[in-house]
Amino acid sequence: MPSNPIDSAARATPEPVARKIRGLSDRAIAWLFVAPTIFLLLAINIFPLIWTIRLSFTNFRANRPNREVEWVGLRNYERILTDSDIWLTMQATAHFLFWTIFFQVLIGFTLAWLINRKFRGNDLWTTIIVLPMMLSPAVVGNFWTFLYQPQIGLFNYVVSFFTGVDPSSFEMLGSVTLAPWSIVIVDTWMWTPFVMLICLAGLRSIPDYIYEAAEIDRASKLRQFFTITLPMVLPFLMLAVLFRGIENFKMFDLVVQLTGGGPGSITEVTSINLKREAFEKWRTGYASAYAIILFVTVFGLASIYVKALNKVKQR
């Protein structure tokens, strides 16, 4: 590797001097290496966060640069926390969160357990199941609106094929009762593989000798499942739930493409609501307070959850 300029410079320079030039102290190198990352995070994460906090106490509007900005104290927070429409939004989010996690854990764990039977070709089929989670939710979500079309859509057709219901008789995206489920279905389709992979890692981490010991103790398979498999996988499962919980709390692209929050405001999850406040109504100050509330909520819930998770792990 003689072409490297540092190398050639090194060879041409007497050893002690060279050490001084190239051989920065470990401390200096550490800072040199970390500094750009920290700087970037300060500029694009921390500084904006502080700015958001500041804005949340004002009535600033990004679309009205000429208007005088006033301090409004905690008024934005007060308005959000007492707004009944926002509570409906939270309910829509909770419905979405609960059911997506429920189905993903159920199906994801089952699949992982089945795949762990180590049948032939399992890694290829695993990869195929994983495909949806690698794809762009906006692009895929947009196409799902086509699959959900009454009559011509594939989804309605398949449902009618198996149940005999007329495919034009139900509208997944337009009906008040079905729309919340339409987004749960697509999210489950997309993200079950994530839960599955983590469960699989958990299952594979259980050493064989534990089962062997149980077998010697003549524990039944069912008992083994509840006393060995489930408790050993539980920390992994809880982790998967944490990640899905955070991701689905942020959910925007998929739902915006599928229902846009409709019909009415039935599927208006927090991100869509926040987007309307911030980038359609341009109530920047108000939306900033909203953002801070969401951030504190996620952070708080996640911290409590992580504490619980650590307790489970320690057992």
Out of 95, 174, 181, 227, the only residue in the binding site for another protein (CB under 8 A) is: 174
Out of 97, 187, 194, 241, the only residue in the binding site for another protein (CB under 8 A) is: 194
Judged by CB under 8 A, does residue 180 bind another protein? no
Out of 71, 87, 102, 299, the only residue in the binding site for another protein (CB under 8 A) is: 299
**CB 141, min distance to another protein, A:** 8
Query: What is the SS3 assignment for the chain?
Result: CCCCHHHHHHHHCCHHHHHHHHCCCHHHHHHHHHHHHHHHHHHHHHHHHHHHHHHCCECCCCCCCCCCCCECCCHHHHHHHHCHHHHHHHHHHHHHHHHHHHHHHHHHHHHHHHHCCCCCCHHHHHHHHHHHHHCCHHHHHHHHHHHCCCCCCHHHHHHHHHHCCCCCCCCCCCCCCCHHHHHHHHHHHHHHHHHHHHHHHHHHCCCHHHHHHHHHCCCCHHHHHHHHHHHHHHHHHHHHHHHHHHHHHHCCHHHHHHCCCCCCCCCCCHHHHHHHHHHCCCCHHHHHHHHHHHHHHHHHHHHHHHHHHHHHHHC
Judged by CB under 8 A, does residue 307 bind another protein? no
Q: Which of residues 73-92 bind another protein (CB under 8 A)?
A: none
**CB 90, min distance to another protein, A:** 13
Out of 44, 74, 165, 230, the only residue in the binding site for another protein (CB under 8 A) is: 44
Q: What does residue 58 show for φ and ψ, rounded to 5 degrees?
A: -120, 175
For residue 167, give the nearest of 156, 154, 152 by alpha carbon: 156
Beta carbon nearer to another protein, 98 or 110: 110
Judged by CB under 8 A, does residue 283 bind another protein? yes
Beta carbon nearer to another protein, 102 or 110: 110
Site string for another protein, 150-169 (x = CB under 8 A): xxxxx--xx--------xxx
Q: Which of residues 234-273 bind another protein (CB under 8 A)?
A: 236, 239-240, 243, 246, 249-250, 252-253, 257, 260-266, 270-271
**CB 231, min distance to another protein, A:** 17
**CB 114, min distance to another protein, A:** 4
Beta carbon nearer to another protein, 99 or 301: 301
Other residues' Cβ atoms within 10 Å of the Cβ of residue 249: 19
Out of 122, 227, 234, 305, the only residue in the binding site for another protein (CB under 8 A) is: 122
Other residues' Cβ atoms within 10 Å of the Cβ of residue 232: 15
Size of the site for another protein (CB under 8 A): 132
Out of 165, 279, 308, 311, the only residue in the binding site for another protein (CB under 8 A) is: 279
For residue 148, give the nearest of 156, 139, 140 by alpha carbon: 156
**CB 6, min distance to another protein, A:** 7
Judged by CB under 8 A, does residue 26 bind another protein? yes
Judged by CB under 8 A, does residue 294 bind another protein? yes
Beta carbon nearer to another protein, 71 or 299: 299
